[in-house]
Amino acid sequence: MDVIVKAATVIDTRRIKQDGTYPVKLRLTSERKQQYYPTPYDLTKEDFEKIMFGKRLNEKEKTLKKQIAAFENKAADIINTLPIFSWKVFEKHYLTNKAAKDTISQAFKDYSTDLREAERIGTAVSYECAESSLNKFMAGARFADITPETLRKYENWMLTNGNSITTVGIYLRSLRTLFNNAIAEGMLTKDYYPFGKKKYEIPTGKNIKKALSLSDIELIYNYKPEEGTTAEKAKDLWIYMYLCNGINVKDLCLLKYENIKGDILEFERAKTARTKRTVEAIRVVITEDVRNIINKWGNENNDPKNYIFPILEAGLTPKRERQLIQQLTQVINCHTKAIAKELGITANLTTYAARHSFATILKRSGVSTEFISEALGHGNLRTTQSYLAGFEDESKRETIKALTAFKK
């Protein structure tokens, strides 16, 4: 026996609103069970009766009647296409695009909460900044409000208010992720997607060169701050990052003595380890300079489970860990910029410059792009990863000498 399902548009008199209207809803009835689904309309009892059953309607009322009837028609079409009626399957089809009326702000908050629970604190903060920016531009914005034209106006607003094109890109990529998530979850159709060709394309920042010349590196290498000072430590850690394949501050802080395997430092990038199931470990040749910096600033207790540098400690919360890493980054940047000024180096001497310099100086010395890609932990191309798997440590020992070619 076929299940009989009836759809009807009704006014829900169970809840009156402050203005005296009631919600107009779709009511589905099947086997004595009733379920109500919302529509965006609220009417008084009199207006509902007139619009749904009256004969003399003006154009505005006729239009509203068609709009309300569309919900009942949509339900009927879905019911007719289902071989066997199921509430769950019906709702999956009927509630498509229900996210269109959800606020972007709430989507940001929900996603940020998920990121924090996953201990991705830095990414969560970035999404929270993006939410704050969008709220200032368009408070209460819904998914349905975000059109290509809206995004172009938002971009101009951000630039006018002093945001860089890089920041614009970061915020809009965060917003794009929310749209992609809603579509993947079946809460939104691609009709609402405002990004892409012939719609809105997210701008990319200019690739500003941050690398130093080998002569600049030589000046920094030979610079002698006062012994035992924070400036000396900052300079040494910058050199350490430069020599260790352009390692970033977070990965430097996470290094443990167990990562040292003879004269090789082996570690996984925290960023890559989170996003990929199979991760190629980065292998760094421990030169005399690297060894000296570890001996000077490393933990005296070189137990395998101890951090190499005394910056983090066991049991820290993700939030506190991030704070300490940020503090170290700021300290290094502050002192290295002062050193650069003293030495007459015009390049922006930051922790990121160490990574960029590592790559570009090797490239200028004739090292293959494939080797550099492996050394940096980049893995966008499978073919590149496969090719790089053949590099041997001996070849790396010879190549790494280019980093301190100025030494006699």
For the chain, the average pLDDT equals 85
Please tell me the distance from the alpha carbon of residue 337 to that of residue 2, in angstroms, as a whole number: 77
Same domain, 224 and 346: yes
CB 101 within 8 Å of CB 145: no
Beta bridge partners of 22: 43
Last residue of a domain, one of 45, 76, 95: 95
In-domain check, residue 277: yes
pLDDT value for 215: 92
Q: How confident is the model at residue 279 (pLDDT cuts 50, 70, 90)?
A: low
Same domain, 222 and 322: yes
Last residue of a domain, one of 95, 117, 143: 95
- Other CB atoms within 10 A of residue 221 CB: 18
Higher pLDDT, 393 or 285: 285
Instruction: Please name the residue that has the structure tokens 């090797």.
Output: 362
Mean pLDDT of 51-80: 88
| Residue 115 predicted with pLDDT over 80 | yes
Q: Which of 83-87, 96-100, 188-192, 288-292 has the highest mean pLDDT?
A: 288-292
Where is average pLDDT lowest: 193-202, 309-318, 354-363?
A: 354-363
pLDDT value for 383: 32
pLDDT value for 100: 60
Last residue of a domain, one of 54, 73, 95: 95
| Residue 70 predicted with pLDDT over 80 | yes
- Token pair of 312, please? 């983090």
Beta bridge partners of 27: 8, 36
Q: How confident is the model at residue 379 (pLDDT cuts 50, 70, 90)?
A: low
pLDDT value for 384: 30
In-domain check, residue 206: no
| Residue 222 predicted with pLDDT over 70 | yes
| Residue 171 predicted with pLDDT over 80 | yes
In-domain check, residue 199: no
Same domain, 167 and 255: no
Same domain, 262 and 334: yes
pLDDT value for 373: 72
Same domain, 142 and 68: no
In-domain check, residue 69: yes
Instruction: Please name the residue that has the structure tokens 């531009």.
Output: 137
pLDDT value for 26: 92
For 148-163, the pLDDT digits (tens) are 999 999 999 999 999 9
Where is average pLDDT lowest: 1-15, 79-93, 361-375?
A: 361-375
Where is average pLDDT lowest: 137-141, 187-191, 265-269?
A: 187-191
Same domain, 10 and 51: yes
Higher pLDDT, 98 or 51: 51
Same domain, 277 and 348: yes
Its pTM surpasses 0.95: no
Same domain, 39 and 134: no
| Residue 19 predicted with pLDDT over 50 | yes
Cβ density class 156-185: b for 16+ within 10 Å, e for less:
eebeeeebeeebbbbbbebbbebbebbbee
| Residue 186 predicted with pLDDT over 90 | no
| Residue 226 predicted with pLDDT over 90 | yes
In-domain check, residue 370: yes
Mean pLDDT of 364-376: 74
In-domain check, residue 233: yes
Same domain, 106 and 86: no
pLDDT value for 96: 64
**Contacts of residue 230, Cβ cutoff 8 Å, sequence gap at least 6:** 331, 335
In-domain check, residue 197: no
- CATH of residue 236's domain is 1.10.443.10
Closest residue by Cα to residue 327 from 313, 305, 312: 312
Mean pLDDT of 66-70: 87
Q: How confident is the model at residue 395 (pLDDT cuts 50, 70, 90)?
A: low
Amino acid letter at 146?
I
Burial class (CB in 10 A: 0-12, 13-18, 19+), 351: buried
Indicate the number of domains in the chain.
3
| Residue 1 predicted with pLDDT over 50 | no
pLDDT value for 97: 59
In-domain check, residue 202: no
Same domain, 80 and 183: no
- CATH of residue 154's domain is 1.10.150
- Residue-range definition of the domain harbouring residue 399: 214-404
Same domain, 34 and 89: yes
Task: Find the angle CA(306)-CA(308)-CA(310) to the nearest 5 degrees.
Answer: 85
Q: How confident is the model at residue 240 (pLDDT cuts 50, 70, 90)?
A: very high
Same domain, 165 and 261: no
